[in-house]
Amino acid sequence: MTFRVTSFLAGAAVAAGVTLASFAAQAQDTIKVGVLHSLSGTMAISETTLKDVMLMLIEDQNKKGGLLGKKLEPVVVDPASNWPLFAEKARELVQKDKVAAIFCCWTSVSRKSVLPVVEELNTVVFYPVQYEGEESSKNIFYTGAAPNQQAIPAVDYLAENEGVKRWVLAGTDYVYPRTTNKILEAYLKSKGVKPEDIMINYTPFGHSDWQTIVADIKKFGSAGKKTAVVSTINGDANVPFYKELGNQGVKATDIPVVAFSVGEEELAGIDTKPLVGHLAAWNYFQSIDTPENKAFIEKWKAYTKNPKRVTNDPMEAHVIGFQMWVKAVEKAGTTDPNAVIDALIGVTVPNLTGGYSAMMPNHHITKPVFIGEVKADGQFNVVWNTPAPVVANEWSPYLEGSKDLIADWRAPLSCGNFNVKTGKCGGAGK
């Protein structure tokens, strides 16, 4: 039957004066884009919005005529906050759906689940969320912040502007918080902070009983030194955490919390009045007043048909990453991964905060840093920012095994962990 249908199609094509090759090309008249974000499970609170913004960006690009003369077709899958499932779904997107690129993930554990698959299959991936660094892959483009574009500036702000001397490093128990806190602990000690002035705590995904932990934080903060919480708590565990802070009367004037994974979307679901004055460090806030951001917010609310829908930092990272991918494909004249990977380095696009972001040879982008205070309406008042975009340190200068490493994916180096002391690609001691 398959042979007869094929024969019939071939005959019809010849009769119409069309070759089989052009007939096949017409059948593949779209460029497929993978959207791999959790739409269920503990991370849905954060990732559903990223799926929605990708659909909006693809729709907008199609209104402009698509890409390379073809329409873009989103392929949306739900890995359901299941880390091994991210790898399985990524493989399906590439091998079965034939996507040209994947926009994916929130947690580092999901990104690390995907990484070996996309390297094996040579796929272009854009990762839009702040992370712990200590990685640079040929196939992944990191549009979220590295630690020196978020965590380090936040700690500096608290020390210099709030006089913080004691530090609670509170995180969800997985790779991003543990590695970020390892970097922060080394950084704080390099600044003269004593080990007894650093408290580290980890909780599982979806943790809900914060009463004892918040009580411990209050006790730690009662030693007579200004104390702050540096939070790498992820997902829906943030809701009961902040509620318990309010229940126990932990005010920003007493023990400020600076969060790296709490933005407008997470605050939209809770009463923010007890949290006024607590902080978040990001590279974008909805409240930033620029023409670009105003236009984006209006477009977002119109697309979602919801005037209450908020924007946030990882959304902007997807905006930047998508624009960069489009420019690189146009520059390369193809969606071939190797050509696009080469073309992406050096691409510069406008961000939403009034400047530009550039893709650097380490596959990370330049980003401004903002510190914002929570307002009663769930938005942020920017209290500090860097004067210019910051270049990402993919490898931490504060960790022994990383301080001699750099990433540069341009020829002839083409390496993600080049050791400047040994002159070899392969990392520390190799």
* Topology alike, domains 26-146+312-367 and 148-289+371-385: yes
Residues 6+ apart with CB under 8 A from 207: 172, 233, 237, 240, 241
Q: What is the pLDDT at residue 155?
A: 97
Q: Tell me how far apart the 2 most distant CA atoms of the chain are, in Å.
A: 88
Q: What is the pLDDT at residue 26?
A: 40
Rounded mean pLDDT for each run of 10 residues along the chain, 430 residues in total? 34 40 52 98 93 98 98 98 97 98 96 98 97 96 97 97 97 94 97 97 95 96 95 88 90 94 83 87 97 98 96 97 98 98 98 97 98 94 96 96 96 96 77
Q: What is the pLDDT at residue 28?
A: 65
Using CB atoms within 10 Å of the CB of residue 163, give its burial: 0 to 12 exposed, 13 to 18 middle, 19+ buried.
exposed
Q: What is the pLDDT at residue 21?
A: 35
CA distance 49 to 298: 16
Q: What is the pLDDT at residue 237?
A: 87
Q: What is the pLDDT at residue 398?
A: 96
Measured at the CA of 385, the angle between CA 384 and CA 389, to 5 degrees, comes to 175
Query: Tokens in use for 414?
Result: 């083409």
- CB–CB of 313/284 below 8 Å? yes
Level-2 CATH architecture, domain 26-146+312-367: 3-Layer(aba) Sandwich (3.40)
Domain spans of the chain, in order of start: 26-146+312-367, 148-289+371-385
Which residue reads 């990272």 in tokens? Answer: 317
Nearest Cα to Cα of residue 395 among 64, 127, 133: 133
Q: What is the pLDDT at residue 428?
A: 61
CATH of domain 148-289+371-385: 3.40.50.2300
